Amino acid sequence: VIGVVIGKTDVRGFPDRKNIGSERYTFSFTIRDSPTYFINVSSWGREEYVRSLAESFRVGDCVTIENPLVQSKEAEREEKFNPVTPSGYKLLLSENHSVVKRSSCYDMDTKLLSLLHLPVKDPQDYYSLGDITANGQSLDGKILNVLAAVMSVS
């Protein structure tokens, strides 16, 4: 699978249920290869493997993923922590079998770079900040999509 990384989480550790007293680590990212298709990718394993993988690329980099495990996603659970994707599947990276290679988008396909700035949600599925301010009480407790741009950082 070849695509541009459009989102990425931080590395997190969790107690390992199988090996009491030790931890397993995970991180996820989302890649896109066309205006309509993008998929979530997760990696679980030893801290060294997961941290090394997470540090090997950034959002905006083009990657090639070799030998991932393709799994059906559990929509309710998966999309609580990852972007909602149009696919019914997710990719899982394994330390022993999978490889992620970073490369230049220019070398692969310059069209991939333009995908980085496309929203992942339907343009009709956003609330403006004005709508949220005006209808705050009626929106209480609801999950909302907000599309915003950063004007300055200081």
- 89: CATH: 2.40.50.140
What pTM does this model have? Answer: 0.77
- Total structural domains in the chain? 1
Would you say residue 135 lies in a domain?
Answer: no
Asked if residue 154 is part of any domain, the answer here is no
Task: State the pLDDT at residue 107.
Answer: 60
Domain of 48? Answer: 2-115
147 lies in some domain:
no
pLDDT attached to residue 138: 81
Report the amino acid identity of residue 52.
S
What tens digit of pLDDT does each residue of 46-71 get? 999 999 999 999 998 899 999 999 99
Write the CB contacts of 62 (distance below 8 Å, at least 6 apart in sequence): 2, 3, 4, 5, 102, 103, 104, 105, 108, 112
Report DSSP state, residue 146. Answer: B
Which pLDDT value is given to residue 82? Answer: 75
Cα separation, 76 vs 85, in Å, equals 12
Tell me which DSSP letter residue 79 carries: H
